[in-house]
Homo-oligomer: A and B are copies of this chain.
Amino acid sequence: MDEVPGALGTSAGLALRLGQTVFSTASLLFMCLDVEFYSYTAFCYLVTVMGLIIPWSITLLVVDAYSVFVKCLVHQPRMILIIFFGDMVLSYLSLAAACSTASVTDLLLNAGASFCPVKLCSRYQLSAAMAFLSWFLSLASSLFNLWLLPSL
Contact = CB atoms under 8 A, between A and B. Distances in A.
Task: Classify the secondary structure of A's interface with B.
Answer: helix
Interface residues of A, number: 18
- Copies of this chain, complex-wide, total 2
A41 B107 CA distance: 8
A110 B40 CA distance: 9
Interface in A108-150: 108, 150
A59 interface: no
Interface stretch (A10-18, A30-38, A61-69, A92-100): A92-100
A103 interface: yes
Contacts of A47: none
A100 B46 CA distance: 13
